[in-house]
Structures are given as C-alpha cells and as structure tokens.
Amino acid sequence: MQNYYKNRAEEYEEIYLRDDPTRQEELRKLEELMKETLVNKKVLEIACGTGYWTRLLSETAQSIIATDKVQQVLEIAKEKQYLCPVSFHIEDAFKLSFKNASFNGGLANFWFSHVPREKIDCFLTNFHRVLQKKSEIFIADNVYIPSIGGELVIKKGDNNTYKRRKLKDGREYLILKNYYSFEDLLKIFSKHITGFSKDNIFYGNCFWCLTYELE
Ligand SMILES: C[S@@+](CC[C@H](N)C(=O)[O-])C[C@H]1O[C@@H](n2cnc3c(N)ncnc32)[C@H](O)[C@@H]1O
C-alpha cells in the first residue's frame, strides 16, 4: 500500500474534486465538523497524505503534527500554505513514536479503511495512548457505493477486503480497503470508548465520520 501511495502522490487529490453534488456536500459537512471538533487543539494527524485535510484544519487548530509513512506524499503536503503551525513527520500509525499524552486532538481521515481488521485494536490503542484525557477526535472515511466503488476482492481465510487500483500510467495495485456499516462502527468504537453511541457517528451516502472525546 505504501508503494501505491508513493506512486499515486501526484494524482491523489483528484478524488476530492469529483463533480457530484452529494459528495461535495458531504465533504463540506466533514470539513465543518472536523474544524469545529478540533478548534484550538494541538492535533496529531495520522496518515495525512498530501495534506488536503491538514490545510483545511489549519484554519481552526492551534497546531498540527501531520504524520505519514510515505515521504513522497509529505513532500507534496509541505508545499501547501497553512494558517497555524504545522510540522510533518514520517511515522508508522501502528508504532507512533510520541510520548504518552502529547496531544489534545486527533485526526485520521481516510486511513481507517486501510487498517487490517486484526490491527484495529493495535491502531486505536496506540493512537489514544499519545492523546491526553478529554482529547477530541475526528475520524472519517468512505461508505461503500457499489456503482462507483468497484469490485471488492476477497481472499480465502482473510476477513479484510481489497480493491484493484490503477494509476494513470497503467500500474496496478491490490490495496486493502475495508468498508464499515453504521452498526460495525458502533460496535468497534464502543469497545474502546466508554459512552460511545450513535450520536458520535455521521453516516452519509458517500462518507462517514466519527467525533468523540477520550475519557
Ligand atoms: C487514503 S490516504 C489518506 C490521506 C489523507 N489523510 C487524506 O484523507 O487525503 C492513506 C494514507 O495512508 C498512508 N499510510 C499507509 N500506510 C501507513 C502507515 N503504516 N502509517 C502511516 N501512514 C500510512 C499512505 O501513505 C497515504 O498517505
């Protein structure tokens, strides 16, 4: 997957430009909720990619440490203009190097679907470890739309799903991409967050997002 994002870096943000009113409306809703949830926070961003959400969040956050495993996407992110202090770090989302309770805001957009199901607990435990009590968190990702989402690939003995992705130059990749229903999200996050309820979830036609506060 890291190889795919390294080679896709230049064309990545085209996904946010699709001319579909529902998508655009939901993207703006996500943007608004994200900015509101993380206003004035010292934010750790997981898998920031080319900095699309980092730039938007910089309008309301106090500061952002934006992380990704792939240098090539960070190089693109670094070229953008930000409205709050932002620094970029190479980090593996499963092995964060920050000290416990280093931040009071957490952001992970379009990353959760790439986490293997067997590593969800590992990711959330790590993520929450570096956040202070009462931190605010925002996580967003895709809803599966069969008509545009393409075929999901299933492997025997593996409960993750995969998608075939083709770059403009013709190179093809098989990428882990898991989709979650409203009920799945409720179940997964209730396990990690006391009091997590349906009110913490927005589930749209194209995207979902979660906002919650750590205990
Ligand atoms: C779908 S992109 C999301 C980028 C950005 N958050 C956005 O929404 O535009 C997924 C990102 O995960 C990064 N990534 C892949 N494996 C990672 C890992 N183990 N730790 C941190 N980032 C990783 C990729 O480099 C890529 O930038």
pLDDT band at 130; cut points 50, 70, 90: very high
Closest residue by Cα to residue 67 from 85, 82, 54, 83: 54
What local confidence, expressed as pLDDT, does residue 189 receive?
Answer: 98
Answer whether residue 14 shows pLDDT above 90: no
pLDDT over 90 percentage in the chain: 84
Find out whether the beta carbon of 70 lies less than 6 Å from any atom of ligand 1: yes
Q: pTM of whole model > 0.85? A: yes
Q: If you average pLDDT over every residue of the chain, what do you get?
A: 95
Closest ligand 1 atom, CA of 45? 6
Nearest residue by C-alpha to atom 27 in ligand 1: 49
- Burial group, residue 120, by CB count within 10 angstroms (0-12, 13-18, 19+): middle
Give the residue-averaged pLDDT of 176-201.
Answer: 97
Nearest residue by C-alpha to atom 1 in ligand 1: 110
Domains by residue range for the chain, with CATH = 2-143+179-213 (3.40.50.150)
pLDDT band at 18; cut points 50, 70, 90: confident
| Cβ 115 vs Cβ 188: under 8 Å | no
